[in-house]
Homo-oligomer: A and B are copies of this chain.
């Protein structure tokens, strides 16, 4: 995920944050938009939050409900992921000032639009990842076999 507080502007002048995109926008430079997107969707829970928020009937979901729909996530990671998404304007946060307070999350229009590319990725995964996994197992077996051979005295 993007550094939580590491990106804070040095106090005293406003963050301009236009590092003069070095080359063309190639994947290797950190300011490349694709690289930045990949860093986000690659982080463990981001895509799932987007998916859950986009596939629910009601468009707002509360923190606890969200957590319940994502078995295995800790409060910390859920809060962290949500704040990252909020920072990116992909998610909106609404607080009901009751006691105890209720906090609702929803995708922004921008966030909702991200679900489409992710759906394409999901589709590819469902079509082809089985083949990838099979290839991986076969490769591992070949490696194990090779190692056994070279260990013979």
Contact = CB atoms under 8 A, between A and B. Distances in A.
A20 to B, nearest CB: 14
Copies of this protein chain in the complex: 2
Interface string A86-126: 11111000000000000000000010011011001111111
Contacts of A33: 125-126, 129-130
A51 interface: yes
Interface residues of A, number: 62
A140 interface: yes
Contact of A11 (B14, B43, B129, B148): B148
Interface string A60-86: 000000000011110000000000001
Given A37-B125, A38-B41, A126-B33, A132 B88 contact: yes
